[in-house]
Structure 1
Amino acid sequence: MEAARTHQKVPAQKLDRSACLGPDGAVAHVTRCLRMIRGRWKLPILFRLYADEMVRSSHLLRDIPDVSQKMLTQHLRELETDGLIQRTDFGETPPRVEYRLTDRGEALMPVLMAARQFGEEHERETT
């Protein structure tokens, strides 16, 4: 019995895949986005900042279980560097620093909410 050769049944058309691949394609842009939110604590930080307009780092430490001060600080700095959050230092003693989503961070939230919905639907369908 001969193995199926489905590749011979599919018409071979020359497709322009530059919209997906290449240095300015969809894959590159999605990869850039995923790099910005990669990290164990970045999503909890973003969703916490989405829930409240301004949050102090001490509240983030309290509200995100198991995160260390070091990791929280590292992820906050990375999110700030990527332009997703804004840090406001009030220059007071004791130090008071607050974080909030930037416009770019706000623009990312519908994408994350859609990913959340996809995850919920996928879980329901597979269980």
Structure 2
Amino acid sequence: MLIDHEAREECIGPDGSVTHVKRVIAMISGRWKLPILFRLFAEPSIRTLQLRRDIPGISQKVLTQHLRELEDDHLIIRTDYGEQPPHVEYSLSERGRRLMPVLMAARFFSQDHPS
């Protein structure tokens, strides 16, 4: 059986499906990134301290690192109100909101296909 070259490129070519899915997986990889995203999905805007309280076990250092990475990937928005003491809030960006149905679909897939 011959494989259609165009179909192969669409799947595994340099700009194919595999490349794009791997990029999304890299964006959400990290022990705490999914809990952060789902927490921001549940509440439109939240402060760093509240995220730490809501995600048991996460250190301030790792939380800050993951928040920066999620912001760099344009999945969340950091709003600094320029006040003293510092007042910073995080929310999902439009891109982050568009990702959530994909993550919810993964959740439902997992529920329907227990290990």
Structure 1 residue 75 corresponds to structure 2 residue 66: yes
Q: 2:57 aligns with which of 34, 57, 66?
A: 66
Map of 1:32 onto structure 2: 23
> What is the CA RMSD across the aligned residues, in angstroms?
0.7
RCO higher in 1 or 2 (8 Å CA, sep ≥ 6)?
2
Gaps of 5+ in 1: 1-11
- Displacement of 1:22 in angstroms is 1.4
- Displacement of 1:103 in angstroms is 0.3
Q: 2:77 aligns with which of 62, 82, 86?
A: 86
1:41 maps to amino acid: W
Map of 1:5 onto structure 2: none
- In terms of fraction of residues, the more helix-rich structure is 2
Identity %: 61
Task: Normalising by structure 2, report the TM-score.
Answer: 0.96
Map of 1:7 onto structure 2: none
Counterpart mapping for 1:1-127 below 5 A: 12-16=1-5, 17-123=8-114, 126=115
Whole-Å Cα distance in 2 between the matches of residues 42 and 28 of structure 1?
20
Kindly name which structure, 1 or 2, has the bigger radius of gyration based on alpha carbons: 1
Gaps of 5+ in 2: none
Whole-Å Cα distance in 2 between the matches of residues 18 and 34 of structure 1?
20
Task: Normalising by structure 1, report the TM-score.
Answer: 0.87
- Displacement of 1:14 in angstroms is 3.1
